[in-house]
Amino acid sequence: MGKNKFHDGDGPSQRQLRVGELIRRTLAQVLAQGDIHDPELNRLSITVGEVRCSPDLKIATAYVMPLGGTGREHAIEYLARNKHELRRMVGKKVGLKFTPDLRFRLDATFDQMDATREMFARDEVKRDLGG
């Protein structure tokens, strides 16, 4: 299996994980405080589920989901058009020598959790599980 841009054969390094989590917390804080000068973005409540950094820490991909899952496409659009301001704010708060370029993707884990809940709610699954 080939390597991708986020993982070598052993998975992300401790440094990648640490920087990703630091950016995730900071980005979530910036978004929650509504510090960005974009009223459309500030109207959305966005959860930052995870941030993955490339091995060279030049790219940070934030996996996000608007509260309730509504307005997903708009959320990515609003984040993308404000990525330079978000990067500047994150860089100032985090204090890294180099702040990675921010990318935004929808967090599919929320959809997977919903699908799992739906599966466990089905009568035949409850019966098979002895419930």
CATH 3.40.50.2000 assigned to 14-128:
no
pLDDT attached to residue 2: 45
Q: Average pLDDT of the chain?
A: 85
36 near 42, Cβ under 8 Å? Answer: yes
Share of the chain above pLDDT 70, in %: 79
57 near 19, Cβ under 8 Å? Answer: yes
68 near 44, Cβ under 8 Å? Answer: no
Q: How confident is the model at residue 69 (pLDDT cuts 50, 70, 90)?
A: confident
Cβ count near 23 (within 10 Å): 27
| pLDDT (average), residues 100-106 | 96
